[in-house]
Structure formats: C-alpha cells, structure tokens
Amino acid sequence: MSKYYIVYFVIILLGVIVGIFNFLKLNKSNKIFLSLLFMTLLSELMALNIDKFNLPSNYIVYHIFNPIQYIIVAWAYYQEFRKKLILISMPIMVIWSLILSVFIQPITEFNSYYISFELLIFTAFSVYYFLLLLRIETDNKLKDYPLFWISCGWLLFSVANLFVFGTYNSFFKENSYIERVFAYIRVFSNYILYSLFIVAFLVKQHTLLGDERK
C-alpha cells in the first residue's frame, strides 16, 4: 500500500472515530454522512483486497458502491432541502447505474461515466445549498453549518475530478504521465473532501430547518 493510500485511510478512519465520538451531537444529515464514511472505508478495503475475492478487477466494487453513495448523499441533502425531486432521483440513479454497467461500461471497466454524472448532481446540491444559505436571515456563522463544509468538499472534489472521470477510459489509459498527474489530483481532492467531513462533525450543528438534533 502506497503512502498516499495510507494517508487516505487514516483520514477516513479519523472521520469515523470523530463521528462516533460526537454521534449524539450530530444533526440528522451528519449522521447520514457518517454512514457514508463507513461505506467508503469498507468499499476501499474491499477494492484493495479484491484478489482475495477471486474477482478479476476491483472495478466491480465501485459499480456497486457509487449508486449506494448517491443514495446516502441524496438522503442527507434531502434532510435540508425537503425536495421530492431528490427522492425521485434516487431510484432513477440506481437504474441508470445498472444500464451503464450492463450496456456501456461493464464491471470490467471503471464506471467513470456514472461517477461523472453523479458528481454533476453533487455540484448542483452544493451550489443550491450555498444559495439557500445566502437567502436565510440568521445570526449564525457559516462555519457553524456542517453541511457548508461538506458542500465545499463536494464542490471542490467534483470540479477537480469531473474531466478526469469523464475521459478516464478513453484518454488517460493511453498517456501514463497524464494519468499519474490526475491520479494525484484525485488523491489530494479525496484528502480535502474527507477532511472537511471531519470539520463538519466538529462544528456546531446548525441546519437550514433549525437546530433540531435527532
């Protein structure tokens, strides 16, 4: 395991520990995001040890994980937005993932098209959340809204990786140097994303719908 992966796992594990330690203080969306950290840690460990499952490639792990990730993230944002469109999108994204995996990018290939589409939606979630924050009248500081930090993480991660994932199978396989450059972008954007999860678990737990803690 490379040192980059070690740092990656340490950040996620630290997020899980911080989330568990502060679990009773977390608002509902943060508790949902904590479950995402558990799922991320589990999927990455499975992908890293895929040879023990007698499977030819670890790509299948991401074909399974990413639709689950979408459901978790969408459900967390639904706690703030309360938009039925988010609920409708959840089964649609699962079906879309199945279509892509069967007909366009099989489990022997990295599911970059689905991830790109998913990141576009996460970008929309983040931007919409920022717009709602600007509209509300409150004396609370931005730093006291945990979803502000997580939205910053998703926005930065999405902007940094949309082009990478969208062209992965068709372009980067043929240029090892560029592939390494963008691999570093993915790694460090992951560092930022999950580090901001930790920040979200530590700050005050204000929400757009009030300070209700469940």
How many domains are contained in the chain?
1
Are 77 and 27 in contact, with CB atoms under 8 Å apart?
no
* Position 127 in a domain: yes
Q: What is the pLDDT of residue 164?
A: 73
* Position 113 in a domain: yes
* Position 26 in a domain: yes
Cα end-to-end distance, the chain, whole Å: 39
Q: What is the pLDDT of residue 207?
A: 92
* Position 9 in a domain: yes
* Position 28 in a domain: yes
Q: What is the pLDDT of residue 212?
A: 40
* Position 212 in a domain: no
Band of pLDDT at residue 173, cut at 50, 70 and 90: low
Which tens digit of pLDDT belongs to each residue from 69-128? 999 999 999 999 999 999 999 999 999 999 999 999 999 888 989 999 999 999 999 999
| Tokens 């678990």 found at | 201
Range(s) of the domain holding residue 54: 3-202
Which tens digit of pLDDT belongs to each residue from 1-47? 578 889 999 999 999 999 999 999 999 999 999 999 999 999 999 88
What are the residues facing 207 on neighbouring strands?
210
**Torsion sign over Cα 90, 98, 44, 179:** negative
* Position 99 in a domain: yes
* Position 8 in a domain: yes
